[in-house]
Structure 1
């Protein structure tokens, strides 16, 4: 039996039986690979809090899959967006705009999602001269979280002409944004429907200019580089009672303690269009230039070939 040199030992062991080695498929090779599966999430917290919230999920999946799953914390939004474009990780948890983009462009598998919908309110202070979107487009100041926050992307999508958009002042925290608008420090603000209603139940402080559609909420997606049976096992594990326990901190933080539910890709159709104003411009103008502008600040060298 003629064998490659690298197979000499194996051939010696099986030669007496006459059984030839069986070539593994790519899917099988990925199963037996010792490379850990990477779990990542949008960088909305410190490294310590990320490990606290997502580390138990990685440990649970390691036990279920009998394959190491590691949580990896991105060092900033630019890093995280680079990971998305390159499909750097195996399991993702983040906002619906990112999940929808990966479902659309990377053909990923949708996992469990937060059950509550996301809907936003664009508002101004009571008595403001801004009465509609046309008035808001005339250089009004918008208090909003930095992009790529989904609420901010939704507002910018209302103004497709870049020369006719509000000026965005980055403010962290929905309550702080509301206060800035109520105190006339910003003309416009954006926030979740329930938060705005809680802060102004009688509509005495702000006027609603636009209500968003009911968007799906945050969700897990799983890279198509994993075998189909592994992807299915991850989805089923996260939806199990044991998965609920592993996701306790995530559920408390993002779902008010509710259990996550099975997601359907149709619910996320076209949700990634909110990224067009940001990522569409990036692809049109050259992705390398975009990556380099903040790469030094976030401590890594931008890859020259990242567009899918």
Structure 2
């Protein structure tokens, strides 16, 4: 226990840096209710508060527009979300990569068994793709396969990998997207669907740390999260996203160009000034754009 505790002690310089000021804010992609978010991420914030000797609070975004705003304006200090967001922030906001989920993300684009569509060219025009709404990483990967905006499948937004699979198997959708493991579970012998394209293994979800934090604090957060005490604080998070496995140290090079789908939109928005862009959307979700 003593060894685990010592791994989370801040250097003297870092302790001075956090002796005053506002709490550090931990945020995560809004994939759950506020109650479940507090259940899964609250213990991580509570643990980091003790490890850093500085308050850390979990703040739940009220929707994807809010979360996008927080990312663009770097409203958080500690982020946990998908590889596309991590890659974008490393690129545009020069953040520091923290621990990541050890498994890779492998995506599959598929159609129903016996479909006349045999390749991407045949799927480019007129096909209906059932997929989660962007900025889901799998959907971004699929749309990247069709760079010509005049020759793209029509995207029918749908939540739940099982629901998407059933829609394709029942011929309600021409194409579907899903993680490799989910598809293997739903159709291990490929008797109901045919794989059209397999993605490369992408790095998985993880933490990233705002450049607003002192370098020594960022290093202390990484050490704390990778310690045995950090593993215990992340029990629910690890069970939900990592099959219970410990998170591992990440390397920024693993996330290079993973934000390709986001950069097509977000990079332009960020470069041209996000405040003007946000005004048209801010009121719809009940937040201020400044």
Residue 230 and residue 288 in structure 1: after superposition, are their counterparts in 2 closer, same or farther (change >3 A)? closer
Aligned structure 1 segments of 4 or more residues deviating by more than 3 angstroms:
26-30, 280-290
Quote the Cα distance in structure 1 between the aligned partners of 2:131 and 2:253: 29
Tell me by how many angstroms 1:194 deviates: 1.2
1:59 is paired with a residue of what secondary structure?
A: helix
Give 1:1-308 correspondences, 5 Å limit.
Answer: 30-280=17-267, 282=269, 287=274, 290-303=277-290
Quote the Cα distance in structure 2 between the aligned partners of 1:238 and 1:42: 19
Quote the Cα distance in structure 2 between the aligned partners of 1:79 and 1:29: 33
Q: In terms of Rg, which structure is larger?
A: 1
The answer on whether the counterparts of 2:72 and 2:270 sit within 8 Å (CA) in structure 1 is: no
Quote the Cα distance in structure 2 between the aligned partners of 1:276 and 1:51: 30
Q: Which residue of 2 aligns with 1:4?
A: none
Tell me by how many angstroms 1:135 deviates: 1.0
Residue 84 and residue 30 in structure 1: after superposition, are their counterparts in 2 closer, same or farther (change >3 A)? farther
Q: Which residue of 2 aligns with 1:6?
A: none
Deviations 1:151-208 (A, max 9, x none): 0000011111111111111110000000000000000000001111111111111111
Across the aligned residues of Structure 1 and Structure 2, the Cα RMSD in angstroms comes to 1.8
Which structure 1 segments of 5+ residues have no match? 1-25, 304-308
The answer on whether the counterparts of 1:27 and 1:226 sit within 8 Å (CA) in structure 2 is: no
The answer on whether the counterparts of 1:160 and 1:277 sit within 8 Å (CA) in structure 2 is: no
Quote the Cα distance in structure 2 between the aligned partners of 1:162 and 1:273: 16
User: Which region of structure 1 is more displaced relative to structure 2, 222-231 or 26-35?
Assistant: 26-35
1:181 is paired with a residue of what secondary structure?
A: helix
1:216 is paired with a residue of what secondary structure?
A: coil
Residue 283 and residue 234 in structure 1: after superposition, are their counterparts in 2 closer, same or farther (change >3 A)? closer
Quote the Cα distance in structure 1 between the aligned partners of 2:158 and 2:254: 30
The answer on whether the counterparts of 1:117 and 1:215 sit within 8 Å (CA) in structure 2 is: yes
The answer on whether the counterparts of 1:124 and 1:206 sit within 8 Å (CA) in structure 2 is: yes
Q: TM-score, normalised by structure 1?
A: 0.86
Quote the Cα distance in structure 2 between the aligned partners of 1:164 and 1:289: 30
Tell me by how many angstroms 1:128 deviates: 0.9
The total of aligned residue pairs comes to 278
Which structure 2 segments of 5+ residues have no match? 1-12
Tell me by how many angstroms 1:94 deviates: 0.2
